[in-house]
Each structure stands twice: as C-alpha cells, then as structure tokens.
Chain A
Amino acid sequence: MARSSAHIAALIAASLAFACAASADELASYKIVGDGIPEPLTGSPGDAARGRALVLARTTTCILCHSGPFPETRFQGDLAPDLTGAGNRWTASQLRLRLVDASRFNPQTIMPSYYRADGLVRVGRNFAGKPILSAAEIEDIVAFLATLRD
C-alpha cells in the first residue's frame, strides 16, 4: 500500500512536470477566426510531401480511421470520411482548425484534437502534457490536405 501510493505520487509529480513544460513552451499560441485558423502555427507554410508521409505514418494515427488516395497501403480505416478531395471541401484555414481541435466542428467527434495538451483524462506517462503532433507536423499535413483536389 505504502509502496503503491509512493508510486502514484511519483507518477502525478512526473505528469505535472511534463504538463508545465508543455503549456509553457510546447504549444504555440494561435488565433481562431470564424471557423478556421488563418495563420500557420509556425509562421510559415508546411511541406506537402512531408505531410503526405506523415498522414501515412501509423504514429500520426490518421489512417487508423481515414482512407484516402494512398494506393500503396491496404491498411486504411473506415471510421471517418475518405480524405480524397478534402482540399476542395475545406480551406487551409479550416483544415488547420480541424487538426488542432476537431471538436470545434462537431463536439461529439471521435477525431482527436492533435494540438491540445490539457483537459484530457489519464494520458499515458510518455504522452502526458504533449500534443499528438507538433506545430510543424500540423503545417505539413495541412499543406498536403490542401493539395487533395479532385
């Protein structure tokens, strides 16, 4: 019992340390205008080729749920709309807000907020206090999605 509460205390301390670091310097501030974030989170536009590779990487989690124009992989999800044509349906500003916090479009959405580090429950030790993606990764993905035009 004593051992496990010491353990829990250590855990809480560790996650608090992470949380402070993150809110202090990991998350760039951004401004929502209408239904989007018009300015890049990093101050400069991303790289679409890197964005494509990121969307396909398992660790970014996009194709766990989505499919898209990715003939090279069979492992695509169908819990979410196909990303083909996303660049026709949405502006870069809307895509950026969707990635940062999809719950702005649909409060019940299952799509994770990729640029958020608070208000979450029991985040794993290795992930606590960090957003799922960095600002630069989000910009690369936004740049790629904007190229998805039919």
Chain B
Amino acid sequence: MIFWRAIAAATLFATAPALLAGEIPPDARRSGYAFMGPDTRAMQDDDTTNPGMLFVLDGEALWGKKTGSANKACADCHGDARSSMKGVAAHYPAFDKASGRPVTLDQRVNLCRANHQQATPLPYESRDLLALSAFVAHQSRGVAITAADDPELKPFIEQGRDLFMQREGQLNLACTNCHDDNFDKRLAGAPITQGQPTGYPLYRLEWQTLGSLERRLRSCMSGVRAQAYDYGSPELVALELYLMSRARGLPMETPAVRP
C-alpha cells in the first residue's frame, strides 16, 4: 500500500511539469463549477435542463451528416463517437505534425473538413462549429485532462504561460493577478474563479448561448481594456494550451453552465 503510494508519488513528481511561484498545485485545482451557486450547478447537472445539451444534440446530427465535395460524414472516418472520441478533447490543443503547431479542437474540426470532407471551414463561434466541438468534447465528460504531455508542445506551453503572466491593457492586469492570486475573492460582487478551462464549449447565462474558451479569453482581455487576440491566433491557442496544462487532472465537464 505504502509502497504503491511511494511509486505513484515518484511518477507524479517525475512527469508533472515543475510549478512556478504562484501557480496552483494539483490538489488545490478547482473547476468554475465549485464556485457556482446551487441553481446553476443543478442546471449543469441535469441534462434535461442544461441548455448546452441542445448543441450537443445538434453536433450529433452533424457528426452523421455527409458534407463537402468528398460527400463524407465525420462518422464515415471515425465511426461511433462514443468510443472513438472518448478522451480526445481532454488532450487538446494537440500537436499537429503537418503544421508543426498546436491546434485546438475547433481547428481540428476545420482541418478535417478541409482535408477529408473538402468542405469550407466553419466560422469561429458559428452554431455548427460550437455544436460539433461540444459533441466531441461531451464524449470526454468526466475524463481527466491530460493535455500538454507531448514534448513538442513545450515551447508553446511556455509561450502561453508567459502570456498568462503578462500584464496588459489600460488596466494593466495579467490573468495571474485574478486567477492565481485572487480566486475566491469578489470582483464587483461576482466570484473570481481559477479560470479553469474544463467545461468548454459551455453555456454562459450572460451570453444566452454556447461559447468557446477563446470567446471567454477575449472577454477577459477586453475587461482589462486590452486589444483581444483574434480567434485562432497563435497567442490564443498558446493560452488555451497553458490553461489545459494548468488544469491537468481535472475532469472535463462539457457542456458546462456558467453564470
């Protein structure tokens, strides 16, 4: 028993990336879910009231629908998503050999459309792209986040961490100022969370719709009056990757609900 624990601890130390000062240790990581009130939690927990499930259902229909000049459906290559897509979203953004860069799940969907379906890319935040990503990520619900273990991702994780630590905007605040140093406190009465990326795409009551992690990051940037990076930009992808590495071990929740 003790022996096994010692081995487990040793492997943990060996594989977990070293924490820098101010970063949240694995056993203290908490999803935004833990900061919500009972009503919002109940809405997320019950698939019949979770508004994100409508998008998941749309995504399931799109998964089986032939499209593009190749006239192929996602299912023609990947089969039943319930098995083929389980755990996939938990390790995105993933390294893409062809471009030599990390790609997000949204970008992977569009790469598949371009290369295998010969279809036009779906615009960021469009209903179809959100629905497909929600459907794929939903297959990982409850699966622990494992993103960022590929050694080729290291420089991109570092870029993301630097961006997370960088003060920006007219208010001159960095992500770390709120989400590492001040979670559990209140910004104008609203709780600040650790900014964990566990539930995306997710339904935000404030948005009245499903939205991507990039949409959330862009609104934090506008909040500090910074020029938000464009959707799909290398900076947003690097930040996403760093956030997923920072959330390692937390279970996926897609589609989550947030206030």
**A-side interface residues toward B, CB under 8 Å?**
11, 58, 61, 63-65, 74-79, 110, 112-113, 120-127, 130, 132
* Per-position binary interface string of chain B over residues 155-185, scored 1 when its CB falls under 8 Å from any chain A CB and 0 otherwise: 0000000000011111111000100011001
Binary contact track B225-240/A, C-beta < 8 Å → 1, others 0 = 1111000000000000
Tell which of A61, A77, A125 touches B227, judged by Cβ atoms closer than 8 Å: A125
Please determine whether A123 and B225 come into contact, CB atoms closer than 8 angstroms. yes
Contact assessment for A122 and B188 in the assembled complex, using a CB-CB cutoff below 8 Å: no
Is B222 at the interface (CB under 8 A from chain A)? yes
Q: A110-B177, A125-B227 are in contact. Are A120 and B172 (CB under 8 A)?
A: yes
- Which B residue sits closest to A74, measured CB to CB? B189
Interface hub of B168, B189, B228 (most chain A Cβ within 10 A): B189
Are B170's CB and A112's CB within 8 A?
yes
* Complex Cα spacing A140 to B45, Å: 49
Q: Which residue of chain B has the shortest Cβ distance to A4 in the bound complex? A: B230
Q: How far is the CA of A132 from the CA of B169 in the complex (A)?
A: 11
Q: Nearest A residue to B170 by beta-carbon distance? A: A127
Bound-state CA distance A78–B181 (Å) is: 13
**Chain B hits for A125, CB < 8 A:** 227
Number of residue pairs spanning A and B whose beta carbons lie under 8 angstroms apart: 70
Assuming A123-B226, A124-B170, A126-B225, what are 7 further A-B pairs, CB within 8 angstroms? A78-B186, A79-B182, A110-B181, A120-B172, A121-B226, A122-B169, A127-B169
CB <8 Å contact, A121 and B169: yes
Q: What is the bound-complex CA distance between A58 and B223, given in angstroms?
A: 12
Q: Give the residue name and chain of the A residue nearest to B229 (CB).
A: A122
B172 touches A112 (CB 8 A): yes
**Please, which residues of chain B bring their CB within 8 A of the CB of A58?**
188
Q: A76 with B169: in contact, given A123-B227, A124-B227 (CB under 8 Å)?
A: no
B226 and A77: CB pair below 8 A?
no
B192 and chain A: residue at smallest CB distance: A79
Which among B186, B192, B225, B226 has the highest number of chain A CB atoms within 10 Å?
B225
> Any chain A CB within 8 A of the CB of B187?
yes
- A125 CA to B169 CA, complexed, in Å: 10
Nearest 6 A/B pairs, CB to CB: A75-B189, A127-B170, A121-B168, A64-B188, A112-B171, A127-B225
Contacts of A120 in B (CB 8 A): 168-170, 172
Q: Which residues of B contact A74 (CB under 8 A)?
A: 189
Cβ contacts under 8 Å, B168 to chain A: 120-123
A35 vs chain B, min Cβ distance (A): 21
A110 and B173 in contact, given A64-B188, A65-B187 (Cβ under 8 angstroms) = yes
C-alpha gap A127/B190 in the complex (Å): 25
The answer to whether B172 touches A77, judged by C-beta atoms less than 8 angstroms apart, is no
